[in-house]
Structure 1
Amino acid sequence: MSETLGFKTYAPAYLSPQASGKNLLIGANFASAASGYDENAAILNHAIPLSQQLSYFKEYQGKLAKVAGSQKAASIIKDALYVLSAGSSDFVQNYYVNPWINKVYTPDQYGSFLVGSFTSFVKDLYKLGGRRLGVTSLPPLGCLPAARTLFGFHENGCVSRINSDAQAFNKKINSAVANLQKQLPGLKIAVFDIYKPLYDLVQSPSKFGFVEANRGCCGTGTVETTSLLCNQKSPGTCSNATQYVFWDSVHPSQAANQVLADSLIIQGISLIT
């Protein structure tokens, strides 16, 4: 998305050595692979929970003020574009495979729990000065290679019931966003729909220049994720990732992400201008 917006450099990962000095003026990346709205799931996946990411953001604000001055730092924080992408790992790497959760909560109940966490996060970010936020919807979870491997596929090569869960969650997120806009003066927030564009990629890959949409490039492409068993040297990893819709069993490839980013920018133009 940064490239699509025209940025020549990426915001550095906050915990990296690059996130210091004047580099802080271009922002920071607080994301953690396999994190999500469920704090416990993030811990189980050895990821940095959202609450800790928010703590790092507070820390970042202090460092930014030292570099730019308090007034300039406050302006940067207010005018910055924040992007929140979470939820997939909560379901695919936690809810569906964790009997301690899926025996207690229905998918709808778990989705409501996650949306509650999302709402709290947005309010906390707002208190810290954030005013422009784009949040991604859930993708068609039932079309992810991991879901196909675990549950088999049905309608149009996807797990229909899991796609239904994702659609139900997305309705909840949209409703929560509408309520937040009413509650928080000056907040500009939009849901970036990645469900439809990714579903279209999976159903008609050749239309977008892709060859493989059923499995990922990394390893076998059926179970590996970037947080588990997946890297460039994993046995079986493809040599032509640009032809794959998915990099691993959960995450889209860089080429697919570019297609998604183009769609997201169009959807969220009101946040950017």
Structure 2
Amino acid sequence: MANAIFFLILLHICTIISHKCFATKLPTSPKFTAILIFGDSTVDTGNNNYISTLFKGNHYPYGQDYTDRLPTGRFSNGKLVPDFIASALSIKESVPPFLDPHLSDDELCTGVSFASAGSGYDDLTTVASGVIPVSKQIEYFKKYVVRLKGIVGEEDAKKIVNGALVVLSAGTNDFGFNFYDIPIRRLEFNISGYQEFLQNMIQRFIKELYNLGCRKFCMSGLPPIGCLPIQMTAKFEIPKARKCLEDENLDVEIYNRKLAKLLPQIQARLPGSKIVYADVYKTIDRHD
């Protein structure tokens, strides 16, 4: 079921990107110079292997369907959506983590993941877990650009960053860790206020990446958080009584609508940018 959902998300994202960014047909040659990934466990291809945290996917049963059936740090039985997107867009077969000490120059030039499982847009989300917030992921991206310039030169590095597909996928942990389960942010925000707080952070991050040369963005909305096992388990003591938390799902739907409305406004303020919204919620909801 998980593989089917991931495939449908991939198909949905690729359809949006292909419609908005090039042709309606998936390319046989790369239309993007690289793929750059920021976010949480949905797109972390192994960075948490190289930091001090309990949030790691480098053990069984993770990786049982991956090459050699070995765990890679991906929170998945096999590849993640970024890997499938990179492959479908003819960029590369899989996306390596930036923190991998054995990352080759060739791999770096076609893109990496800066994402960290357990992360979020809100720095407070990562305080207890020690994972990498999106704000620090962007600091790693700056180091990436420096290394890229050292490999291909400043002019070609600029072309690679300008032509790269930037994928951002986070937010679930912000609501789960900071608002619903451990109500830290509820002390200062109501749900609408926290939604706006996070989306202000998103605006800031996109603008910062734009100022660093990025132009093509795919921004993922949130899934039905109220149907995540961790959320249902936290609310229902009896396993058989578990059901989706519709109030949390409604919050997510409102958040996603706000985000979908916000992104064209951000694009209008950033000349030459292209920002597309990936509606993960509806993709999962339709095929659950």
Length-normalised TM-score, structure 2 = 0.66
1:91-119 deviation per Cα after TM superposition (whole angstroms, max 9, x unaligned): 11221122332233211111110001000
State yes or no: 1:26 paired with 2:97: no
Q: Is the 1:12–1:18 contact (alpha carbons within 8 Å) kept by the matching residues of 2?
A: no
Q: Using the TM superposition, name which of 168-177 and 53-62 deviates more.
A: 168-177
Residue matched to 1:163: 249
Q: Distance in 2 between the 1:43 and 1:179 partners?
A: 31
Shift of 1:123: 0.3
Q: Distance in 2 between the 1:8 and 1:133 partners?
A: 18
State yes or no: 1:138 paired with 2:222: yes
- TM alignment of 1:188-203, pairs within 5 A: 188-202=274-288
1:226-254 deviation per Cα after TM superposition (whole angstroms, max 9, x unaligned): xxxxxxxxxxxxxxxxxxxxxxxxxxxxx
Shift of 1:6: 3.9
1:182-228 deviation per Cα after TM superposition (whole angstroms, max 9, x unaligned): 100011001100001112233xxxxxxxxxxxxxxxxxxxxxxxxxx
Q: Distance in 1 between the 2:234 and 2:88 partners?
A: 34
Residue matched to 2:268: 182
CA 43–19 in structure 1, closer or farther in 2 if over 3 Å, else same? farther
Residue matched to 1:78: 162
Q: Distance in 2 between the 1:70 and 1:99 partners?
A: 46
Q: Is the 1:13–1:30 contact (alpha carbons within 8 Å) kept by the matching residues of 2?
A: yes
The aligned amino acid for 1:130 is C
CA 8–28 in structure 1, closer or farther in 2 if over 3 Å, else same? closer
Q: Distance in 2 between the 1:160 and 1:89 partners?
A: 18
Q: Does the residue aligned with 2:127 lie in a helix, a strand or coil?
A: helix
Q: Distance in 2 between the 1:18 and 1:144 partners?
A: 34
Q: Distance in 2 between the 1:18 and 1:188 partners?
A: 33
Q: Does the residue aligned with 2:184 lie in a helix, a strand or coil?
A: helix
Residue matched to 1:87: 171
Q: Distance in 2 between the 1:23 and 1:4 partners?
A: 17
Q: Distance in 1 between the 2:175 and 2:128 partners?
A: 13
Length-normalised TM-score, structure 1 = 0.69
Q: Is the 1:85–1:135 contact (alpha carbons within 8 Å) kept by the matching residues of 2?
A: yes
Shift of 1:4: 3.3
Q: Is the 1:132–1:187 contact (alpha carbons within 8 Å) kept by the matching residues of 2?
A: yes
Gaps of 5+ in 2: 1-84
Could you list the structure 1 runs, at least 4 aligned residues long, displaced by more than 4 angstroms after superposition.
Answer: none
1:135-160 deviation per Cα after TM superposition (whole angstroms, max 9, x unaligned): 1001011111112112349xx94211
CA 96–161 in structure 1, closer or farther in 2 if over 3 Å, else same? same
Gaps of 5+ in 1: 203-273
Q: Does the residue aligned with 1:99 lie in a helix, a strand or coil?
A: coil
Q: Is the 1:12–1:19 contact (alpha carbons within 8 Å) kept by the matching residues of 2?
A: yes
Residue matched to 1:3: 87
Q: Distance in 2 between the 1:24 and 1:111 partners?
A: 34
If asked which structure has higher relative contact order (CA below 8 Å, sep 6+), I would say 2
Residue matched to 1:35: 119
